[in-house]
Structures are given as C-alpha cells and as structure tokens.
Amino acid sequence: MTKSTVFSSAGTCDIERAANIYESLRRTRPAKKQDLKNYVKVFLGIDVPNKRICPEHHRPMDYLWHAFSADFASEVKANADVIVWANRAGGKTELAAVATLLDCVFKPNCRVRILGGSGEQSGRLYEYLTGFLYKGFEEFLAGPALKARCRFVNGSSVEVLTQSATSVRGQHIHKLRCDEVELFDEDVFAAAKFTTQSTEDILAAMEIISTIHRPYGLMQKIVSSADRFGTPVFKWCMWEVIEKCTGRTCSQCPLMEDCRGKAKVADGYLKIDDCITQMRRASRAGFEAEMLCKRPSLENVVFGEFDPTIHVRPLDFDPNLPLYRALDFGFVNPFVCLWIQVDADGIVRVIDEYVRSRATIDVHVGEIKSRTPGGESSVTATFCDPAGAGVNDVTGTSAVRELRAMGIKARYRRSGILEGIELIRRAVRAGDGKSRFVISHRCHRLIEAMRCYHYPEPGSAAAGELPFKDGVYDHAIDALRYFFVNHTRSTKTTTRRY
C-alpha cells in the first residue's frame, strides 16, 4: 500500500464519519431554543430572526419554539393554541411549514392539517414543506409526497384541506395550521375550531396565522378575544425581519421616520430596498397595517376619528352629574344597556355597559337595576329603540311596556340611522377639532364596536350609505345612537303610557 493510498483511505473515513455525525444530528431532537435555531439553519438553510426590535413585539423564533416545544414541556398545558400576527413577507407561512416538518419528524403519529385562506395560500405552505423534505429528509417519508398530502414512516402525516366546511368537518387531528385567517370564510373557521384533539404524547393546537388587513375582519376579532381565552399572541413587524442596515445615511433614507435606527440593530432577511419600494407603492394606511402591524386601515370604518388613546380612560360615576341609560333590545342578538353622563362642558361620558344574549326582559331589568349607581332615583332618563314599542304577536305586549311594568320608564324618538351616526361623529371630533366623547375602559364591547363598525365592502350586494348590520358591532352603536338622538332633542322626546 502506498503512502498516498493510506492518506486517501484516511480522508475517506473522515468524510464518512462526518457524514454519519451529520445525519445523526439530523435525527436528534433539539432540546433548547438555540439548538432549534441552529438545527433549522444547518438542515434547512433558514436563519430564523431572533431579535426583538419593537419593545411590544416578539421574535419570529419565539413562535417556532412555542410550536415545537409545547409537546415536550414539563408543565402541563391544556393545549398549544397560538395566534401569529405578523407583517407581509414576515416569514409566517415559511415558519409554519418549518413547524410542520419538525412536528412530523420528531413527534411520532402526529397528524397535521393545513388550511389556508385560499387554495393558493394552502399550496404555498405545503410547497415550502415539500421543498424542505427534499433537503435530505426523504428517509423520513413513507412513500413519495403527493400533491396535497404526505406520510412519514413514524406514522405522522400532513394533508391540505380546502376552504370549505365539508372539508373541515370530521377531521380529528393534533395540529391545525390556519394560514391567512383574514381571508377565511367565517363558517369554515367556526367548523375548524372543533377539529383538534390531544393524545397522550401530543397536545392539540390550532394555530391562527395572518396579517390584520381590516379593523372589523376575522383576525381583528380573534386577536381582540385572545386575552379572554388565554391564547398567546406572537406579533412581529417589518423591523423584526428586516436586514441589518449598513452603509446608509439615515437622513437620506425614506424609511427614516418609521425606522429611527431600528434597522441598524436588526438581523433579518427582508431587503431594505424592497421595503422602501413597498412603502412608495402603498397608501400610508396600507403600509402601517401590512408592514408595521399598526392599527389596520380605517378607510371603510364609520368612526375613523375614534382613537382609544384619546377617547378611552378610567371613568367612574359622578353623583353631581345627570345619569342616563340607553337600551338596544335583543334576544339572539345581544341586549345592550349603556350608562352615560354629560358634564358641564358637554362631554359625553359612557361609564359602563351591559351586554347579554338569550335572556328575557325581567333578567335584563334585574341586572340593569343592580348595576345602576345610586338606584333608579338617580336616573334622569332611559332612552331606547323605538321598535321596542311594537306589540309582539305572540306575547301581546311590547318591550317598552314590560320595562314600564317593572319600573323603568323608557323613552324614545324615531330617527334615521345617519342622523344618530353624525351626532356620534360630532362628539368624537367636532369641526373645531375638539372631542366631547369618552368611554370607560370597562366598556370593552362598545370600544371594540367604535373601532370596528363599518360600511359594507364596495361592490357587495349590501353596499350603500348605511353601515353594515353584522349582528356584532351594530347593537352597541345603536344603543349609543338612541342616547344622542334623544338627549340632543330631549324636549321633543316621546313618552307614552300603556
């Protein structure tokens, strides 16, 4: 054996040994967050951003670690549900595909389903996944990856669902990844909530992933209710995924006003020049919603001047001011009562709210009386929906008559919807630029309604000058309208005896 042969054999052995170590590491489950980041970088070629830039935001790596580690955590959790609110081109879909691959490789018998806001969106996530599979993960597959599903030798599986209730119903799976939820049909989303189930080793997880495009859209509702259900929200924007800025002069950069040096410490992948181009193409409202993940565009919102930082504050009952109540009747749709005071400067102060569905008038009256500060004697007037005076064909009575029988003298004045809306707008911001309207921070439903009450989509069958009656936001606004149209013309308010 020659000397060169000896060296050649030794070199081959080293290469084989390194290859074996490399493949062994591929099959080794990452135990820590940094291990996972390194694993994804080495085996998938993706350097997941892991730097918080905006104080109130998260790192994209935070979501990936949550999705992966939930099934291996020592503490007991009810589920691994999560909401991801991130910017366009923020890597949401690609990271969801990475999470899907990791679930299937390291969690035997894990059943994952992909549901996109459109067939194209679902296809993009699955396309990312199949691309990852052919980066050395073929050995984990039990046969070739098909157009919309693939199976793994450890019993795990992935399948793409179509955007229909029929496709979703009947599924019993571990992980459901809903991509671009803002585009979902609400009936499909409602059906999707019942698809996930935990087993002994794998937690059920419904992952809701999207940008928020509209203040009254599905994603806005989901994010708004996250605290109530204890669902974590991982939020990041353009600055968490933008590339590090080097060699640019801040004073000459079009992004300067928004950036303020953020890109100088970033470690993402999104090209700065692409961000500049998108900013120039888009409206300011669109750029803030899509890229900066700020409040969505208010172009179709009725009360676009409403700003929680201005119009929401802690408020308590002031016994020195008159107290009013405003009611909107409902059974399946919510019954709403607002408690309102007006100070000497004419500022309308909404101090409390009561919202409840599927209860009778006597139940509502009990709640209203118990929550009225100072008792009935402190109430100057109770204003209500004129429709409440109509006699019910079944009961032979009316809501107004029932209220009166139980000691609440409800008053009303007939008016147009637009009249009341204009009065609210004037209070939110008058022609002189001043606001004469504040809401207590306790009034969560009214605050949400003020932000989300909107007109029908342009071009839809319901399009017109009247706001959209969606059964969600309109009832609190209706109650507020009844206050304004009655209070401003209190001398002409109708009172009837029955």
From the list 66, 17, 62, 18, the residue with the least C-alpha distance to 42 is 18
Instruction: Give the pLDDT confidence score for residue 6 in this predicted structure.
Output: 47
Distance of alpha carbon 190 from the chain centroid: 15
- Is pLDDT of 497 > 70? no
Average pLDDT (159-186) is 90
Could you give the CA distance from residue 371 to residue 324 in angstroms, rounded to a whole number? 13
Among 201-210, 281-290, 393-402, which range has the highest average pLDDT?
201-210
Quick: pLDDT tens for 440-476.
Answer: 999 999 999 998 899 887 766 666 788 988 888 999 9
Other beta carbons within 10 Å of 416: 11
Q: Could you tell me where the beta strands, DSSP code E, fall in 39-156?
A: 82-86, 111-116, 149-151
Instruction: Give the pLDDT confidence score for residue 2 in this predicted structure.
Output: 53
Residue 382 structure tokens: 């109770």
Could you give the CA distance from residue 224 to residue 30 in angstroms, rounded to a whole number? 33
Quick: pLDDT tens for 22-74.
Answer: 999 999 999 999 999 999 999 999 999 999 999 999 999 999 999 999 999 87
- Is pLDDT of 331 > 70? yes
Instruction: Give the pLDDT confidence score for residue 339 in this predicted structure.
Output: 98
- Residue the block writes with tokens 């409040």: 295
Residue 393 structure tokens: 């064909």
For strands 82-86 and 111-116, give the pairing: unpaired
Average pLDDT (65-86) is 91
Instruction: Give the pLDDT confidence score for residue 217 in this predicted structure.
Output: 82
Letter string b/e over residues 226-245, b meaning 16 or more CB atoms within 10 A of that residue's CB: beeeebeebbbbbbbbbbeb
Q: Tell me, which fold does domain 12-239 have in CATH?
A: Rossmann fold (3.40.50)
In the chain, list all ranges with CATH 3.30.420.280: 308-492
Could you give the CA distance from residue 73 to residue 31 in angstroms, rounded to a whole number? 10
CATH number of 308-492: 3.30.420.280
Torsion (CA) 30, 35, 41, 44 in degrees, nearest 10? 0
- Residue the block writes with tokens 């396309």: 127
Instruction: Give the pLDDT confidence score for residue 463 in this predicted structure.
Output: 65
For strands 323-328 and 335-342, give the pairing: antiparallel
Instruction: Give the pLDDT confidence score for residue 7 in this predicted structure.
Output: 47
Contacts of 226 by beta carbon, 8 Å cutoff, 6+ apart:
83, 232, 233
Reported pTM: 0.72
Other beta carbons within 10 Å of 381: 18
Other beta carbons within 10 Å of 463: 12
Q: How confident is the model at residue 84 (pLDDT cuts 50, 70, 90)?
A: very high
Q: Are 435 and 310 in contact (CB under 8 A)?
A: yes
Lowest mean pLDDT among 228-232, 388-392, 475-479: 388-392
Instruction: Give the pLDDT confidence score for residue 228 in this predicted structure.
Output: 84
Contacts of 203 by beta carbon, 8 Å cutoff, 6+ apart:
70, 71, 77, 79, 80, 174
Residue 330 phi, psi dihedral angles, 5° rounding: -175, 160
Q: How confident is the model at residue 492 (pLDDT cuts 50, 70, 90)?
A: very low
Average pLDDT (107-118) is 95
Lowest mean pLDDT among 102-106, 380-384, 391-395: 391-395
Instruction: Give the pLDDT confidence score for residue 334 in this predicted structure.
Output: 94
Q: Are 216 and 301 in contact (CB under 8 A)?
A: yes
Instruction: Give the pLDDT confidence score for residue 428 in this predicted structure.
Output: 95
Q: What percent of the chain has pLDDT over 90?
A: 72
- Is pLDDT of 328 > 60? yes
Mean pLDDT (the chain) is: 90
In the chain, list all ranges with CATH 3.40.50.300: 12-239
Quick: pLDDT tens for 254-305.
Answer: 999 999 999 999 999 999 999 999 999 888 878 888 999 986 767 788 998 8
Could you give the CA distance from residue 440 to residue 446 in angstroms, rounded to a whole number? 10
Region class of 227: left (phi > 0), else alpha (psi between -120 and 50), else beta: alpha
- Is pLDDT of 246 > 70? yes
Average pLDDT (183-188) is 90
